[in-house]
């Protein structure tokens, strides 16, 4: 960005109008970063798209880093919302299958175009911004948690053998989702995602009692 970063301002609780302005800036930035990437999205681009002044943007976010962190949070929330109510109920093999089906169906509906916005931000920012990497790590940990918790409940109920490791299995399933979405986007083939998820789900089912 060409503008000089400014120190974030500790603002009082926002008015409804202020919150609406802040939300509009984040949505504009999220759309631009999804289309162009974070590095190629300038402050000027966001100002023009959101229809706000530079003073407003810096008041709410401090600098581009603050805006990027807000976009990471926005994309994380959007990803979780798209997976509800499935993420709240991942404590049975049927529930895991239903979540898998929803993920694959979404790719089909989108014509296998446009991958995971959170994953795209991660691939661009993890090596260039340690602070952004920390926020992305927290977002993916938050994403993994409902999967891990569901598998823990299955093991505690005796539906999975004691040697099943919910931490490793949930990490593998989330990795399969991210890699499968990328391959589906590249090949325009939803079977890429289906195969990746099915392989991990089959492994998880191998621990069934």
42-96 pLDDT, tens digit each:
999 999 999 999 999 999 999 999 999 999 999 999 888 989 889 988 999 999 9
**Domain 16-62 in this protein, CATH class:** mainly alpha
SS3 208: strand
The distance between the two most distant Cα atoms of the chain, rounded to a whole number of Å, is 60
Every domain of the chain and the residues it spans: 16-62, 73-205
Residue 117 confidence class, pLDDT cut points 50, 70, 90:
confident
Average pLDDT over residues 143-166: 97
SS3 2: coil
Of 28 and 37, more confident: 28
Residues 6+ positions from 112 with CB-CB distance below 8 Å: 184, 185, 187, 188, 189, 190
Determine the Cα–Cα distance for residues 185 and 24; give it in Å rounded to an integer. Answer: 28
Question: How far are the Cα atoms of 102, 150, 197 from residue 167, in angstroms, in the given order?
Answer: 23, 11, 16
SS3 160: strand
Report pLDDT digits (tens) over 61-74: 999 999 999 999 99
Q: Where are the alpha helices (DSSP H) in the chain?
A: 16-36, 43-50, 54-61, 64-82, 93-109, 117-125, 130-156, 166-187, 191-205
CATH homologous superfamily for the domain 73-205: Tetracycline Repressor, domain 2 (1.10.357.10)
Of 196 and 1, more confident: 196
């Amino acid at each position: 960005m060409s503008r000089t970063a400014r120190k974030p301002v500790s603002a009082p609780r926002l008015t409804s109008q202020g919150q609406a302005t802040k939300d509009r800036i984040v949505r504009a930035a999220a759309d631009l970063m999804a289309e162009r990437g974070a590095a190629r999205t300038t402050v000027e681009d966001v100002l023009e798209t959101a229809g706000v002044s530079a003073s407003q943007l810096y008041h709410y976010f401090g600098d581009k880093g603050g805006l990027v962190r807000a976009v990471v949070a926005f994309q994380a929330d959007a990803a979780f919302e798209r997976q509800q109510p499935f993420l709240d109920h991942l404590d049975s093999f049927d529930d895991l299958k239903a979540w898998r089906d929803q993920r694959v169906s979404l790719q089909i509906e989108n014509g296998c175009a446009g991958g995971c916005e959170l994953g795209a931000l991660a691939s661009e920012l993890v090596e260039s911004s340690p602070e952004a990497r920390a926020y992305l790590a927290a977002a993916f940990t938050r994403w993994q948690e409902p999967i891990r918790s569901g598998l823990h409940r299955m093991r505690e109920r005796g539906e999975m053998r004691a040697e099943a490791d919910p931490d490793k299995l949930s990490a593998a399933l989330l990795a399969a989702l991210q890699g499968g979405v990328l391959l589906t986007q590249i090949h325009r083939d939803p079977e890429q995602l289906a195969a990746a998820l099915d392989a991990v789900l089959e492994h998880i089912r191998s621990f069934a009692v």
